[in-house]
Structure 1
C-alpha cells in the first residue's frame, strides 16, 4: 500500500529516517511515471516538496538523502506543483547538492561520501527539471549567477584527468540555461565559453592532435560509447547557443584561431562512428548546426587535411568531410520529416562552402549535377539527387524551397542560363524572381563573402548538344511535337484568334 502524503510528512516531522526512506521509496515507485494530478493532489505534492526540502538539510544517511532527492526529481516534473522548488533557497540547495559551489564551500566530509555521486546526479536532474519547467526559476538562476558556479565546476572537471562521471547533467543544465536566457548566452560567450566547451569536447572524445588544425583519426578505433556521444551532443547544443551569430562577424586573429580549432574538432565529430545509427545522426546534426554558425573564413580547416589511401579525394584535396556532409544531406532527404529543421542547416552549410571553396563546389557539382545525358523526364521527375533537390524548389515551406534552389544555383556558378538548363525555367522562376534575375542577367552577389567563380564555360555533353534545340526551357525536357494550332484556319479566323490573344494579354498586364 502506498502511504499518502500526510503520513510521509508526519514521518519527516518525527525524523524517523528508516520510515521516511521506506515511505518515499514506495511513493517514488508509484508516481515515477505519473504526470497528471488533480488540484488536491497538486497541493499535497507542494506540501511534500516543502517538507522534503527542509528535511534534506538534516544530517541524513546517504541512502535517505538519495531517496529524498529522487522524490524532488519526480515532483519537479509537475509544472503546477513547482512553487516550493523555485525559491532562492531551493535552487541553492539543489545546486550545492549537485556539486555546484556558489557561496558555500563543500565540506571534506561531503566529498568523501561513498554514494555522493548518485546524490549529485539526482540533485542535478531535479535542478534541470525545475529550470526547464519554470520561467521564474530561470530568472532566479540568472540572478543567483548559477551559470558562473556551473562553469567553474565544468572547468575543474575538464582540467582533471579523472573520468568525467556525472558531467552529462552539468552539460544539460548549461544547455538549458543558455537556451532559455539570452543574457546567459552572452555571459558564457564573453567568459570564453567557446574555448571551455571545445576543451570539454576534446576530453569527451579523447582526441589526439596532429600538425596544425588536424585531429588524428584512427579508422580501427571502436565506436564512441553512448555515454560519450550523449555528452558530446550536449556540448554541441550549448556551443550552437553561444555561436549562432558568429557567422555574421569578421573575427580577429585570436578568435579566428579559436574557431579554426573548434572547426577541426567538428570535422572529427562528423567522421566518428557511434554506438547506434540514430545517435550518430543526432551527433552529426548538431555538428552541422555549429559549423553553420562559425565564420566561413574559418572553415578552410575542413579541407586542409592530409590525404590517406582511404580518403575521398578531389583535385588533390581531402573531401572526407564534404562527402560525409553530402551523405548526411541524403539521409535527411530520405527521412523527409521536419525538413525545415533537419535539412536546411546542411543545405545552407554546403551552399556557403561552395561559394568560398572552389574544390568543394567542383566535387559537389559532380555528385549532384553531373553532365546531362537524358532529357525524357522533367528535372523534378528524375530519381537522382538533382531531381530530389529540384522537387524541393517548389516545396510549400519557403525556407526549404529557397535553400534547395540556392544550393543548385551556386553549383551552377550563379549563372542563370546554366541554372535553367539543369532545373527548368518553371522550377527556377521563384529564385530568379526573388533575385531580380528573370531577365537573365548574372547575379550581383547577396552574401557577406562574394563568390569568385572562374570564367570557364560549361561542358555540354554530345547528347545535350543534339537535343538542345528541342528542349522546352520551361519544363526542362524534350517535349513531343505538338500540332500547329493554326492549321486549317482561314486568314479571317487567324486574325480573330490574334485579337483574342492580344485582349487576354492586355487584361493580364492590367
Structure 2
C-alpha cells in the first residue's frame, strides 16, 4: 500500500490536475533544499507525479526544464538506491517516452553522465530504468555517446550487466528461472547495446567483450514454440553490428565451432511452420530479417566448417531434387518458399541474399542450387547478368551427381518419370495451366527461347493445344493477345533442340 502524501502535497477541493501537478513539483523542489520530507513521503509524492505523468494532458509542468530538473535531482542523488529515487527515474522514463522534446532537456541538464555513472552495479530495477533513459536519448539529441562509453565507462558497466544475465542461463544458476524484471532489464540493455553500436560508427571493437555473454544467453535460454520474440530477438539484433571474426574463439569455439550456428539454425527452423510452409506468426516478417542478416554475416566469415554446415542445412539436398524444389517441408524448402513469398516482403529479399551468398555469390551455382524459378526474380531485380551456359544440360550436370533441370531444380530422370501433369484435369483446369505458362513466358521473355524451351517443352507442348485455340483472353474479343512462343514461331526464332 502506498504511503500517504505529505500534507503540503495533498489535493485540495476545487483543484484541477494541472494545479496539483504544479504543487507536487513545488513540494519536491523545496525538499531538495530543505530535506523536509521523509523517505516514504518523498516516494509517495514522486509516485503520485508518476501516475499523473502517464497522460501528458494538463501535465506541462512535468515536461518543462524546471520539472525535469527537479525530478532528475531526486533520481540521481549521490549514492541513492531507494524507492524515492526509483520513482523519480520512472517519472523521467515516462516523460522522455511521451514527450520527445524532454530528451534534449535531459541532455542539456547533464543527466546522461549521472545515468551512466549510476548504471555501474545497478540493481535489476535500476538497470531497466537507466537503460531505457539512455536508449531514449539516442534519438534526436546532441548527447555525446562516445564520451559516455569511454569516460563514464558505460561500455564496461553494460558488459558487467550482460555477464550477470548470462550467468542465469549457465552453470549453477541455470536452474533459476529469470524473473519478469530480469527479462525486462535484459531487453532494455540489449536494445541500448544495438543503438550504441549502430550510432557510434568509429568503434569497430565496441562491445566485442560482450559477445560471449550474448552467445551464452542465446544458447542457454529455452526456446518457446515461436522463438523470434524478446529477448532472443534483441540478442540477435545486438550481435548484428559486431565483428564475429574479431571474437572468433567465442563465436566459433575450437572445441565446438558449430555450437552457436546450430542454435541460430534451430531458431530459424522453429520460426517457420513446417506443415504449412508459411510463417508460424506474422512476427516472422518483422523479426526474421535480422536473423537472416546475422546468418549472412556468419557466411561472410572465413570459417569454412561453419559455411559447409550452413550449406548443408539451408540449401536443397539431393533427395529433394526428386521433385521441383520448394515443394517439401524441409528447412531448405521452406526458405525457398519465403524467398518469393508475397506475405513476407521484409524477409524474402534477405533470404534470397543468404542463398546467393551460400552459393559463393556465383550466378550459375545459385541457379543450380535453387532453380531458375526462385533465382530469376532476385537476379533480375539486382541487374545481375545470367550466363547463357547456365541453361545447358552439360552445365546442369557439372555441379550435381545427376543432370538437373535448372528451371525447377528437379533431376531430369525424376522429371521424365513424373506423371503427365495434365492427366485427369478438366478442360478448364488445362486452360488455366496454359495461361499460367503464357505469363511465365512473358516474364522470362529475355531468356533465350530455345534454351528455356529445352527444359519446359513437355509442359508447353501439352498446354499449347489448349492455349492457342482456347485462350480466354482471345475469346473475350476485347483485346488481342499473342503468346510469345506463338510469336517466336511465326518470326522464325523458335528452334527445336535434340535431347
TM-score (norm. length: structure 2): 0.70
How do residues 166-177 of structure 1 correspond to structure 2 at under 5 angstroms?
Answer: 166-177=126-137
Counterpart CA distance in 2 for 1:498 and 1:242 is 55
> Shift of the alpha carbon at 1:404?
0.6
Q: Summarize deviations over 1:381-425 as a string: whole Å, max 9, x none.
A: 332212221122223465422101011112222232332233221
Question: Gaps spanning 5+ residues in structure 2: where?
Answer: 274-279, 390-397, 405-409, 419-450, 469-481, 493-499
SS of 1:198 mapped into structure 2: helix
Counterpart CA distance in 1 for 2:452 and 2:141 is 51
Counterpart CA distance in 2 for 1:299 and 1:404 is 25
Q: Is the 8 A contact 2:323 2:415 kept in 1?
A: no
> Shift of the alpha carbon at 1:434?
3.7
Q: Is the 8 A contact 1:202 1:265 kept in 2?
A: yes
Match of 1:414 in 2: 361
> Shift of the alpha carbon at 1:340?
4.4
Match of 2:96 in 1: 131
Q: Is the 8 A contact 2:43 2:87 kept in 1?
A: yes
> Shift of the alpha carbon at 1:224?
4.4
Counterpart CA distance in 2 for 1:498 and 1:78 is 64
SS of 1:379 mapped into structure 2: coil
Counterpart CA distance in 2 for 1:297 and 1:498 is 50
Matching of residue 16 in structure 1 with residue 2 in structure 2: no
Match of 1:402 in 2: 349
Counterpart CA distance in 2 for 1:125 and 1:276 is 30
Matching of residue 83 in structure 1 with residue 60 in structure 2: yes
Q: Summarize deviations over 1:146-188 as a string: whole Å, max 9, x none.
A: 1111111113x26xxxx55533222222222224536454553
Q: Is the 8 A contact 2:74 2:84 kept in 1?
A: yes
Once the two structures are overlaid, the 10-residue window that deviates more, 329-338 or 130-139, is 329-338
Q: Is the 8 A contact 2:226 2:281 kept in 1?
A: no
Match of 1:260 in 2: 208
SS of 1:202 mapped into structure 2: helix
Question: Gaps spanning 5+ residues in structure 1: where?
Answer: 1-10, 28-40, 208-215, 308-316, 443-456, 490-495
- 180 and 236 in structure 1: CA distance in 2 versus 1, 3 angstrom threshold: farther
Q: Summarize deviations over 1:417-458 as a string: whole Å, max 9, x none.
A: 33223322122112212443332399xxxxxxxxxxxxxx84
Q: Which among 290, 293, 298 is matched to residue 345 of structure 1?
A: 290
- 238 and 433 in structure 1: CA distance in 2 versus 1, 3 angstrom threshold: same
Match of 1:320 in 2: 259
SS of 1:78 mapped into structure 2: coil
Supply the RMSD in Å over aligned alpha carbons.
4.2
Counterpart CA distance in 2 for 1:127 and 1:236 is 20
TM-score (norm. length: structure 1): 0.69
Counterpart CA distance in 1 for 2:194 and 2:284 is 19
Matching of residue 232 in structure 1 with residue 186 in structure 2: yes
Counterpart CA distance in 1 for 2:367 and 2:93 is 52
Q: Is the 8 A contact 1:379 1:476 kept in 2?
A: no
How do residues 64-83 of structure 1 correspond to structure 2 at under 5 angstroms?
Answer: 64-83=41-60
Q: Is the 8 A contact 2:159 2:210 kept in 1?
A: yes
Q: Is the 8 A contact 1:332 1:342 kept in 2?
A: no
